[in-house]
Amino acid sequence: MKLYSNEIVFRGHPDKVCDQISDAILDAYLKKDKHSRCGIEVVGGKGKIFITGEVTSKSHIDVISITKHVLESIGYDTNYEIIDNIGKQSNDIALGTNDLVGGAGDNGMMFGFATRETKEYLPKAMVILQKLSIAYDELRKRDKRFKPDGKACLTGIYDDNKLVKIKTLTICYQNTEEDRVNTDKIIIDIANNIIKEYKLEVEKYLINPTGRFEIGGFSGDAGLTGRKIVVDSYQSFAPVGGGCFSGKDPTKVDRTGAYKARETAKDILKKHKEYNWCEVQLSYAIGIDKPVGIYIKTDKGDIDVPTSLYEECTPKQMIKDLNLMKINFEEKARFGHFLN
């Protein structure tokens, strides 16, 4: 028996808010000009939201109205000073990433992971926390005692690498602090209903263990795009790549390579029933279209990489195969980029 923990942040967590703003701005640019090149960063806190980064696009969008729309959809007010500091992409980078060349938008390595543990091909504990995050967002929409900010951490008891019980489920949720006995019970009931789907039980709940959580969002903490890369990927069940996803257009392999690695890992499990899990690493050099390296391992050991996979993993081909020009990236930033 061993203990292993993983965590998630709720949609209203300051870092996640910044991710959603970055991706909402990205979506707006791509909707008007699919050739837009974007690297959008957001920092928020203490009455200000600062939006910076690089964009090259034929379209013009209203960054401030988009930011306010995201805040409203999450459940926050819009009374912030919003500063638009977006600049233009470097011409040096554009030399290797334009549509003619089609090279990778950056150096880096990305990971994809899949396991047979759930129908989503994701670890059971990870799926439980994702479902809890989604359920909490629905809860705060219908019950004003619950506010948007929050996070949860699950410490599981594992036997032979299988989750057999939850030792501790820690849930921190922002609320009005008006009726904690009942609101805590509601949170526990929601979590228990999700956990019962997987025939598990919880030994101990820790609910707002500091005792109080009324001040949250940008009033309680600063937020920054890309600061939750472990939550965005596999919550520590697999290695994490070097870059975040949000705010980056599909030519950026930090995002697209990670999406492709995930699909590749899933495909391998679907085709090879003898493997219980699969991990894929892709690595790129800026301006070069094909990966400089691909590595695949499973619970049965490393496997040979087919030459065809290098052709499939160019930015142009990945964008086409994964239909990335028609994805709503803001939605992916809300609860996890790999929900299925």
Residues 314 and 330 occupy one common structural domain: yes
- Check residue 91 and give its pLDDT: 60
- Check residue 77 and give its pLDDT: 95
pLDDT in tens, 254-287: 999 999 999 999 999 999 999 999 999 999 999 8
Please give the tally of structural domains in the chain.
3
145 burial via Cβ count (<10 Å: 0-12, 13-18, 19+): middle
User: Which of 15, 23, 106, 330 is flagged as catalytic?
Assistant: 15
Identify the domain boundary among 160, 183, 218.
Answer: 218
Residues 179 and 209 occupy one common structural domain: yes
Residues 26 and 6 occupy one common structural domain: no
Q: Over the chain, what is the mean pLDDT? A: 94
Cβ 105 vs Cβ 287: under 8 Å: no
Q: Is the pLDDT of residue 85 over 70?
A: yes
- Compare 93 and 55 and report the one with higher pLDDT: 55
Q: Is the pLDDT of residue 101 over 60?
A: no
Beta sheet of 48-56, edge-to-edge order: 81-87, 48-56, 37-45, 223-224
- Cα torsion for 140, 146, 149, 150, to the nearest 10°? -100
pTM: 0.95
User: Which of 37, 124, 131, 228 is flagged as catalytic?
Assistant: 228
User: Which of 41, 149, 232, 249 is flagged as catalytic?
Assistant: 41
Percent of the chain with pLDDT strictly greater than 70: 96
Q: Which two tokens stand for residue 301?
A: 């050991």
Catalytic status, residue 196: no
Residues 240 and 331 occupy one common structural domain: yes
Catalytic status, residue 213: yes
Catalytic status, residue 221: yes
Range of the domain at 167: 2-10+124-218
The predicted model gives 322-337 an average pLDDT of 96
User: Which of 34, 35, 54, 312 is flagged as catalytic?
Assistant: 54
C-alpha 58/C-alpha 29 separation (Å) is 9
Identify the domain boundary among 156, 190, 218.
Answer: 218
For position 147, which CATH number holds? 3.30.300.10
Catalytic status, residue 54: yes
